[in-house]
Chain A
């Protein structure tokens, strides 16, 4: 039941790079997510509001926004957890160009996954038998801890190194590279380690750990990047970089 006496004071970023926050009154409801609030604004108050969502259940990674200063997946963020005083300030993600309102251009973010050699490079063809990898082998377990990324861009938007060096590959792309470094079926590690060892690669990370702090899937990209730092260091010592 909507309690109409209780309203949220919601200010939403409108515009692109140049823009301003516009205030909207939104009724407070029980079990209301931030995405519900944005959808209410778009459906009931201003149909010109641009934002992005798809699955609404934390799988697709398309609805991330900056909520009261912190990047979050809005579909799984309850209003009660972030708007204690009934105020919400909703802005687009940092570190990505704003297309309009709450929609950002993620092309550069995804391009960096490719630049970090985030694509699987098979070593066997379809005629080969299944690769047998023990579930408790160290490399399998290291890949496991990093593999659930949904590509929402929250870590990338929270990372100050990306802000300081726009070429920096960022936590998501490096985390992806780390899962493949630990994939025994993959044959692209020489190129991959070279791709992530550069000036804009893993060694640029300052271990602020904002990625780990903000990842909605509770992944730890800082740990993955530390792994890449060790792997590239060892490869350099072995003359393989």
Chain B
């Protein structure tokens, strides 16, 4: 068997990296959803239960993880918009530039959030 190669192989180009980021961010966001629903479900148990979880989310580690979450969300959103542009708009060479735009926008949104919480 010949080995699976990412770097240096036929997958080593920006559009494939964009796909990998989109897929990975989608999977991680799907994993986050149950935790999100759990926090919301605390509200049913009353204000105290919800406040207890919300107090826990004020911790610096959770805040740091939140920044990562925002970047994942932004990457998945902008990546999805990019795909829509690739598949629904007539092809233009600037569509390659879209990958850089999505990466930049995701990072900006993440940093913006970081400044807000810091």
Binding site for B on A (CB under 8 A): 13, 66, 68-71, 91, 94, 157-158, 160, 206-210, 212-214, 220, 222-223, 226, 229-230
Nearest 8 A-B pairs (CB), nearest first? A209-B15, A69-B9, A223-B91, A158-B10, A226-B87, A213-B13, A208-B19, A208-B16
CB-CB under 8 A from B87, the residues of chain A are 207, 226, 229-230
In the complex formed, the residue of B with least CB distance to A70 is B10
Sample of 12 further A-B pairs with CB below 8 A, known A210-B10, A213-B13, A230-B87: A66-B10, A69-B9, A70-B12, A91-B2, A207-B83, A208-B19, A209-B16, A210-B15, A222-B86, A223-B91, A226-B86, A230-B88
CA distance A55 to B2 in the complex (A): 29
* Min CB–CB distance B96 → chain A (angstroms): 9
Check A209 against B10 for contact (C-beta < 8 Å): no
Check B11 against A210 for contact (C-beta < 8 Å): yes
Check A210 against B86 for contact (C-beta < 8 Å): no
CB-CB under 8 A from B83, the residues of chain A are 207
Interface size on B, as a range, is: 10 to 19
CB-CB under 8 A from B9, the residues of chain A are 69-70
Pick from B2, B11, B86: contact of A207, CB under 8 Å: B86
CA distance A212 to B86 in the complex (A): 13
CA distance A229 to B84 in the complex (A): 12
Check A68 against B16 for contact (C-beta < 8 Å): no
CB-CB under 8 A from A66, the residues of chain B are 10
B36 at the binding interface (Cβ < 8 Å): no
CA distance A229 to B88 in the complex (A): 9
Check B15 against A68 for contact (C-beta < 8 Å): no
CB-CB under 8 A from A91, the residues of chain B are 2
CB-CB under 8 A from A71, the residues of chain B are 10
Check B16 against A210 for contact (C-beta < 8 Å): yes
* Min CB–CB distance B9 → chain A (angstroms): 4
CB-CB under 8 A from A213, the residues of chain B are 13, 15-16
CA distance A222 to B10 in the complex (A): 15
Check B15 against A69 for contact (C-beta < 8 Å): no
CA distance A25 to B11 in the complex (A): 29
Q: What are 6 A-B pairs with beta-carbon distances under 8 A?
A: A69-B12, A70-B9, A70-B10, A208-B19, A209-B13, A226-B87
CA distance A222 to B82 in the complex (A): 14
* Min CB–CB distance A16 → chain B (angstroms): 12
CB-CB under 8 A from B16, the residues of chain A are 208-210, 213
* Min CB–CB distance B75 → chain A (angstroms): 16
CA distance A69 to B3 in the complex (A): 10
Q: What 1/0 flags go to B79-105 for Cβ under 8 Å of A?
A: 000010011100100000000000000
CB-CB under 8 A from A160, the residues of chain B are 11
Check B10 against A68 for contact (C-beta < 8 Å): no
Check A157 against B86 for contact (C-beta < 8 Å): no
In the complex formed, the residue of A with least CB distance to B7 is A69
